[in-house]
Amino acid sequence: MTQGSSFTDYETRLSKDLDKYTAFVKFMEQAFEWENLSYYLYPYYWGSKQNWSDLYKAENTDPVFKAFLQSGMARVVATVRPGFEAAVQFYLGTGKIWNGGEVPVIGDDLYLSIVDEMKQPKGKKHGKAWITRLPTTLNILQAESIGLKVAHALPFTIENPADFEVPSDVITEDRFNFESNDNLLGVESLEGQKVISGDWK
């Protein structure tokens, strides 16, 4: 990228390699939140044993820099800037910089882009599903009662009972014997208060 060994003859070589390098610098500066970088320095004994003495004896007036000089290993976490997740993942997987548009997917039958994998998570089905009952304040409502404009009584599901361990636990439309009418809760008619009720089959 550069040439020269002194201030007078130092210069930057303009070439295609420079364009690649500047694109890399731009990507690294924009894709990561370096201001939020965090690190943890591990003790000297996690480094090479032959360097233990030098690491342990390292001194500096700056306590943070001293801890760095004496560390045998470090763990660094650089957060990805929001919106650059796909670009960074592509770079980690291919070593190439993605400059926008749809994230390209490697044309290998054995390669699965983690971007696609995250967008379409699929799990292998084992056995049949089961119903878990939880306490709730919800009520069974008749269709079109109290101003509720729905096609079916609630709760209602379109699940196939045959897909469950206990098919009778699945609440489907035929589990209700409500008859649609214009009754309203809490309203008295001339014939007396009408109560919306129903029995399980």
Percent of the chain with pLDDT over 90: 8
Per-residue pLDDT band at 14 (split at 50, 70, 90):
low
Residues 6+ apart with CB under 8 A from 27: 87, 91, 97
**Residue range 164-176, pLDDT digits in tens:** 888 888 777 666 5
Helix (H, G, I), strand (E, B) or coil at 24: helix
Candidate from 52-66, 69-83, 147-161 with smallest mean pLDDT: 147-161
d(CA 88, CA 80): 8
d(CA 61, CA 182): 85
Per-residue pLDDT band at 181 (split at 50, 70, 90):
low
- Predicted pLDDT at 12: 66
Inform me whether the pLDDT recorded for 89 exceeds 70: yes
Give me 147's structure tokens: 């101003």
**pTM, whole model, 2 decimals?**
0.41
Residues 179-201, buried b or exposed e (16+ Cβ, 10 A)?
eeeebeeeeeeeeeeeeeeeeee
